[in-house]
Amino acid sequence: MANLKNRPRFAISERTDNRVALSSADGAGIELFVLADDIIRVLVLPHGELRGPRTWAIAPGQDDVPLEGRDRYDTSGFASAPFTMSDDDQHVVIETAMIRLTIALDGGFCSWQIVRDRQWHHVMNDRKTQAYNFGWWDERVYHYIARKPGEMYVGLGERAGSLDRANQSYEMRNVDAMGYNARTTDPLYKHIPFYVTWQPETSTGFGLFYDTLADCRFDMGRELDNYHGHYRHFIAEHGDLDYYFIASPDTPLHAVRRFTWLTGRPAWMPKWGLGYSGSTMSYTDAPDAQKRMAEFIDRCREHDILCDSFHLSSGYTSIGGKRYVFNWNRDKFPDIDGFVTSYLREGVRLCPNIKPCLLRDHPLFDSVADAGLLIETRDGEPAWVQFWDEVGAYLDFTNPRTIDWWKARVKESLLAHGIAATWNDNNEFEIWSADAIARGFGEPFPAREAKVLQTQLMMRASRDAQREHAPGVRPFLVSRSGGVGMHRYVQTWSGDNYTSWDTLRFNLKMGLGLAMSGVSNSGHDIGGFAGPAPDPELLSRWVAFGIFLPRFSIHSWNDDGTVNEPWMYPQTTHLIAGLIKLRYRLIPYLYQLLWRSHRAYEPVLRPMFAEFPDDPLCLEDGDDMMLGSSLLVAPVVEAAQSERRIHLPKGARWSSYWSGEVFDGGQTVTLPAPHDRPVMLIREGHVIPLNIAEQHFARPADERAFIALPCAGAGVARGDCIEDDGESEAWRDGVHGRWRVVIESDARSLRIAIERHGAMPRVQNEVRVSVPASDTRVATCATGELAGERIADGWRHITLRLAD
């Protein structure tokens, strides 16, 4: 039974345009913020006042938050949302167009309903026994929720195991989990306390975001206690229970879009960030690192491997066997400017590794410590931590002078040499001592209470350095660790994965979990980073999966000293070279998806159930995924497979990218899956942009074409493609263009319209549109004239000459 003596009795104490405050006689409070028709925030204050710091997560539709954080009572960026309120002796009811929240005055328990098909559906209830901690358990934060049978829970950022988090528990505490098991290891690198609950029986769901910087834990039904019924819960080590409820009727994607909007606009990164990025620890650890790096370019040229960037591992900073951020080892790199120029000459940008911890024998350690730029103990000494093979101290990014120091080092040590990007690594800020203190922008606090904040501020400082150095150039940077809001700054990846087939399978699910948590620009270390070298089959299958992810980098530190490279095995080099060229063929589509992520908060990768929530077979935990809404991708994730069995979601037809064969949805098919032809199917009613120009290393070319599956009868197929210079900030002033393709169909005809809007970066008056060869309907062009047709590889290629 609940402890009735300690359960507060609430009454309404205040109401404003978007806020309702409840208070109790013993000083406890609950504040409710109506932020939109589909978003209500609940703030539980056991002692009537905030205990936690400002927020760095909430940035509704904005590029960023103030450097020192956003006041938790700041509601700027939210439009006025009309709501009604009614109350009696037992309850307060708040109702918007989409949400009905009922609060029991005895205990403050919340019950949530959302509208679907004009009916109210109960979707969430606080546990009726001890849902919150009103200060009589300990100092931690708790939220207990009743658990319904059959619920799915998806999100929580980067997690190992199945996509559905039901019946599992997870710890959110950033750690350097090198060689992790992608099926079981927990915790990992990222701190994103958001997830979507989906209830398949009613096709209804909602998102929950807990705005905390604290180490926290989610139990999604693994724990069971006879006194309370079935439940799930959230526990944070400190701070406040401050959560956002996001209604998501019809589709789980709505909650993802709204959470992404709530926490800031995803960064719009340069197009070259979608190209292949080479990387390995081995090159920069070698005594002749500059020579080894030159050999990489030679091998790319030799094997015609397309490449846009190289992630420069930390060995370039070494003194002996240790790494010292911003310190170039000039024995390894005797000509830094010449080295950078040699890469840029071939169109390959460098992205060097930087770390936020100074080893105690770092050449700059004493000067940095004397300036007070490190996280310190209460007595003013450096707060020592284990870091790589030495002891060191982390920089304190809650000190503005540290940020200035960091930006200056990024500029003078890296950007001044012509380097284009930064790789923010080993930035988990593993600080466990209660004696370590961060300056907190003038309000000091224990550093272990906001480790993820240090990570966020580090990547922000790196981005700002890049912006200041080259104001007209779009910043590109990556970060391994991060938290809510990291999508405003960086591309990310799933850290130092272990080489195995299991990792390939579960990294796929990990990426989907990240995308469903607002972080779309992500990928994995292709081939596996730690452990044994991948065999030829595993490497080629991993590449065949990796080419579909926003981040595509082959990176390794193999136990046997070998290097994961496209030419690692002569028998697969031509396959991998071809797969990389397929990647570049798809870049216009990937670029459009990232644009949609930036402009409309759309996730790039999507679980099948999220795109097709009403298809029961899509609810199963499979190995397929949607790339945007138009392309179904089915990687091979098991050894010795030459075919792939796929369930095609109902409600649409599907066409094989390779053969043009068309299949009805709602069935399971088995398709050939050779190593050089990953299974990919185009969805009916969709048009996908491609780059069909012949491409070779260091000779980029671009020619736009489109591939489509028109509707079988009367209907419309649509697709868009963003076009700009791919690198500058001119898009902010509207200097970009867009293709728009519309194919109207009926039983006898295909009426194709291709429009160009805005400032296009190149002239192209003839455009190819490909439809399945089995579609023999008469094609006409509404915006020009037909210039020819041909049948090849199962596709009908229609060339259109556009009117000026």
CATH number of 271-353+419-428+450-604: 3.20.20.80
Write out the E strands in 277-380: 277-279, 309-312, 318-319, 322-323, 349-354, 357-359, 376-377
Cα 487 from Cα 520, distance rounded (Å): 8
What are the pLDDT digits (tens) for 72-127? 999 999 998 999 999 999 999 999 999 999 999 999 999 999 999 999 999 999 99
Phi, psi (rounded to 5 degrees) for 351: -125, 90
Average pLDDT on 507-514 reads 98
Overall CATH class of domain 8-62+80-262:
mainly beta
Pick the CATH number of 606-802 from 3.90.1150.10, 2.60.40.1180, 1.10.287.3510, 3.30.365.10: 2.60.40.1180
What three-state secondary structure class fits 214? coil
What are the pLDDT digits (tens) for 575-629? 999 999 999 999 999 999 999 999 999 999 999 999 999 999 999 999 999 999 9
Mean pLDDT estimate for the chain: 97
What three-state secondary structure class fits 438? strand
- pLDDT of 5 above 80: no
- Provide the CB-side half-sphere exposure for 166 (13 A, CA): 16
- Looking at residue 370, its amino acid is D
What are the pLDDT digits (tens) for 186-212? 999 999 999 999 999 999 999 999 999
Domain 8-62+80-262 shares a fold with domain 606-802: yes
Q: Kindly indicate the confidence band of residue 2, based on its pLDDT and cuts at 50, 70 and 90.
A: very low
What three-state secondary structure class fits 510? helix
- One DSSP character per residue, 388-416 reads TTEEEEEB-TTSHHHHHHHHHHHHHHTGG
pLDDT the model gives residue 135: 82
What three-state secondary structure class fits 773? coil
Residue with tokens 């949400």: 99
Cα 565 from Cα 278, distance rounded (Å): 8
The residue extents of the domains of the chain are 8-62+80-262, 271-353+419-428+450-604, 606-802
Q: Hey, which residues does 715 pair with through a beta bridge?
A: 745
What three-state secondary structure class fits 558? strand
- Looking at residue 437, its amino acid is I
DSSP letter (8 states) at residue 17: S
- pLDDT of 6 above 80: no
